[in-house]
């Protein structure tokens, strides 16, 4: 079995504080947990991203809060600092979608529950999202990464090449020209085919496959 290794965190994070209130999301179980330190204070079912629009795995922070956005966002919104797109935790006008793979990457909560979460979790709180890196049913499938792609996998590649001294750009989850240059140099140094793309051989050399 080929599986991708996913060491958290892959983004810069604030220091954890004892007794802090934070959110943990388990994409496998479709559950959102409001935590205080290591204790579960409350748990709620959650709708997550579809196969082609996955929820971003990682360690994030709530950077904005809002109410009454209207439409499909329900009564409350908690925005996350995901660098490659607009993602958040919010209510929904489709309660049947909660507990399913139903969104474009956001986390959908029943309206009554998002009101509770909104009150419990302050601005700046951390949100750890755990789950399969390649989609709900694709943990054994390895995809090729190349310029133009965005997402958690690209962020993970950036992170490894950054710490290896190859990549000097932003850790933003966007496969741009600078990351392609870094990949080409990494391939040259490791005797790999120089095409600027990341596939099985590169994942293995980066220590991202087991």
CA separation for the pair 206, 119 (Å, rounded) = 42
Across the range 117-145, mean pLDDT stands at 77
For 153-166, the pLDDT digits (tens) are 898 899 889 989 99
Report the pLDDT value the prediction gives residue 12, as an integer from 0 to 100: 45
Report the pLDDT value the prediction gives residue 1, as an integer from 0 to 100: 39
Give yes or no for residue 14 having a pLDDT over 90: no
Identify the CA nearest to 176 among candidates 83, 48, 42: 83
Entry pTM: 0.78
| C-beta contacts of 191-198 below 8 A and 24+ residues apart | 196/146, 196/147, 197/144, 197/145, 197/146, 198/144, 198/145, 198/146, 198/157
Mean of pLDDT over the chain: 87
Q: Find the length of the chain.
A: 210
For 16-54, the pLDDT digits (tens) are 677 899 999 999 999 999 999 999 999 999 999 987 888
Sign of CA dihedral 164, 170, 173, 179: negative
Following CA atoms 36, 40, 45, 51 in sequence, which dihedral angle do they give, to the nearest 10 degrees? 70
Residue 72 pLDDT level (bands cut at 50, 70, 90): confident
| Tokens, residue 200 | 């099985």
Across the range 107-111, mean pLDDT stands at 97
Least confident of 29-33, 50-54, 172-176, 190-194: 50-54
Report the pLDDT value the prediction gives residue 9, as an integer from 0 to 100: 44
CA separation for the pair 146, 167 (Å, rounded) = 15
Report the pLDDT value the prediction gives residue 16, as an integer from 0 to 100: 65
Report the pLDDT value the prediction gives residue 54, as an integer from 0 to 100: 87
């Amino acid at each position: 079995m080929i599986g991708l290794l996913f060491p958290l965190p892959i983004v810069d994070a604030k220091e954890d504080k004892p007794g802090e209130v934070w959110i943990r999301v388990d994409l496998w179980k479709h559950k959102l947990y409001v935590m205080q330190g290591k204790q579960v204070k409350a748990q709620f079912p959650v709708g997550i991203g579809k196969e082609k629009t996955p929820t971003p795995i990682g360690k994030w922070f709530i950077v904005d809060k809002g109410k009454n956005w209207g439409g499909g966002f329900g009564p409350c919104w908690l925005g996350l600092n995901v660098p490659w797109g607009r993602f958040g935790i919010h209510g929904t006008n489709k309660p049947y979608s909660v507990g399913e793979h139903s969104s474009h990457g956001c986390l959908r909560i029943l309206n009554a529950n998002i009101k509770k979460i909104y009150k419990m979790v302050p601005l700046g709180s951390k949100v750890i999202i755990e789950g399969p890196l390649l989609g709900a049913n694709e943990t054994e499938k390895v995809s090729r990464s190349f310029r133009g792609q965005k997402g958690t996998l690209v962020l993970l590649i950036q992170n490894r090449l950054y710490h290896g001294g190859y990549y000097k750009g932003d850790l933003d989850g966007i496969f741009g020209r600078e990351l392609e240059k870094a990949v080409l140099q990494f391939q040259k140094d490791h005797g790999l085919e120089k095409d600027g793309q990341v596939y099985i051989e590169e994942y293995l050399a980066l220590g991202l496959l087991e």
